[in-house]
Amino acid sequence: MSSVEMDKMTAKELVTDQEVRWCPGCGDYSILKQVQTVIPELGLKRENIVFISGIGCSSRFPYYMETFGMHSIHGRATAIASGLKATRPDLSVWIVTGDGDSLSIGGNHLIHLLRRNFDVNILLFNNEIYGLTKGQYSPTSPEGLVTKSTPAGSLDHPFNPLALCMGADATFVARTMDRDPIHLRELLKRAHAHKGTSLLEIYQNCNVFNDGAFEVFTEKATKKVNTLFVAHDKPLVFGQNLEKGIILDGWTPRLVNVADHSINDLWIHDEKDRLKASILVRFFDDSKHTDALPRPFGVFYQENRNTYEDQMSAQVAEAIKSKGKGNLDELLSGRSTWKIS
């Protein structure tokens, strides 16, 4: 056994001694499992990994990861991670948050983190409900949802989280789901590989308060006709036998039968195309409608842009280069002094 292999962590080593306390059947279990499976493959040292969360069911996550971790306050994990990454660019920082945590109380910090582009990974567990407070509608709940706080149906128009993130100039925007471990693992790797803020929305079933919210996308019987798995340079096709496709008619996406078109007419996915990604994340139809566009999954957009922490370090380095390393006595005396003798 080589020393490299000896040092390599295992998924088991990422498990803490804390009892996992999510409800039985919660989608969070799957996500935890996949994260613990993927991280050893990323070439990271365990001590250099930090998980930061806010408040909510998903935010218990750090307690179950044998890494450095902080379970902070509601909505602020993104801001805490910003300060950590600004001062410790060497760390691999992961933010675990939910739809209430990141899009309601923490909405402000989320958009600002995205535009600044710190090199961190955001795992946004979206279950379209407030679980920890026992079942109120969330900012991603569909209009009309009947919950404890909306007995006559929710009036709120929901956020389309990824459209919001595109609007905030996020540099990595992707979606996956708890029930597709292979895709989830692949996208976790992609999120990690991106230098900049990676926003990975994970559809996660809350089997207690909002069971089946994503059923049409996750269940075998309906998944193929309602989901669209995108891959770079590949045409947008889906359906039982990939018989359906999407073409772009001007800026309007249209559903077509692949058989009626040349493959070159179909929309070819380009992760680098911001405009097309903005359209793709707008595939947000209610699946119950006929002619609904399928819900896309995969990496929609990826852009290489300077990270905040690199630019911040560069400014410090430049200041040291041009002015010399700070001298306290010079600082204390300032430019004009006088002597009394």
Which one of 8, 43, 48, 306 is in contact with other proteins (CB under 8 A)?
Answer: 48
- Judged by CB under 8 A, the residue of 45, 232, 254, 261 near other proteins is 45
To other proteins, the closest distance from the beta carbon of 122 in angstroms equals 14
Q: Which of 11, 23, 228, 40 is nearest to 129 (CA)?
A: 23
Contact partners, residue 56, CB within 8 Å, separation at least 6: 74, 97, 98, 100, 101, 130, 131, 132
Q: How far is the CB of 141 from other proteins (least distance, A)?
A: 25
Q: Is 316 in the site for other proteins (CB under 8 A)?
A: yes
User: Amino acid identity of 300?
Assistant: F
> Residue 200 in contact with residue 175, Cβ under 8 Å?
yes
Q: Does 333 bind other proteins (CB under 8 A)?
A: yes
Query: What are the distances in angstroms from CA 325 to CA 101, 186, 311, 313?
Result: 41, 44, 18, 14
Residues 236/151, Cβ–Cβ less than 8 Å:
no
For the record, the structure tokens of 208 come out as 């207690």
Please pick, from the candidates 26, 32, 50, 57, the single residue that binds other proteins as defined by CB under 8 A.
Answer: 50
Binding map of other proteins across residues 13-32, x = CB under 8 A, - = no contact = ---x-x--------------
Closest approach, Cβ 107 to other proteins, in A, equals 11
Cα separation, 32 vs 34, whole angstroms = 6
Alpha carbons 17 and 64: distance in angstroms, whole number: 8
Q: How far is the CB of 73 from other proteins (least distance, A)?
A: 5
- 77-87 and 308-323 helices cross at what angle (nearest 10)? 40
Q: Which residue's CB is nearer to other proteins, number 7 or number 291?
A: 7
The amino acid at 161: P
**Which of 2, 24, 47, 286 is close enough to bind other proteins by CB under 8 A?**
47
Give the integer Cα–Cα distance in Å for 53 and 122. Answer: 10
- Please, what is the minimum distance in Å from the beta carbon of residue 179 to other proteins? 27
Least separation in angstroms between residue 91's CB and other proteins is 5
Q: Which stretch binds other proteins (CB under 8 A): 145-153, 237-245, 285-293, 323-331?
A: 323-331
Q: Among the candidate windows 66-74, 150-158, 223-231, 252-260, which touches other proteins by CB under 8 A?
A: 66-74
By C-beta, is 147 or 307 nearer to other proteins?
307
Residues 91-150 that bind other proteins (CB under 8 A): 91, 108-109, 112
The encoded tokens of residue 162 equal 């990824």
Cβ atoms within 10 A of the Cβ of 305, count? 14
| Among residues 27, 56, 62, 235, the one that binds other proteins under rule CB under 8 A | 62
Element spanning 182, H or E: helix 181-193
SS3 201: strand
Q: Does 52 help bind other proteins (rule: CB under 8 A)?
A: yes
* Orientation of helix 27-38 relative to helix 181-193, angle to 10°: 50
Closer of 102 and 141 to other proteins (Cβ):
102
Contact footprint for other proteins (CB under 8 A): 16, 18, 45-50, 52, 55, 62-63, 65-73, 76, 79-88, 90-91, 108-109, 112, 312, 315-316, 318-320, 322-326, 328-329, 331-334, 336-341
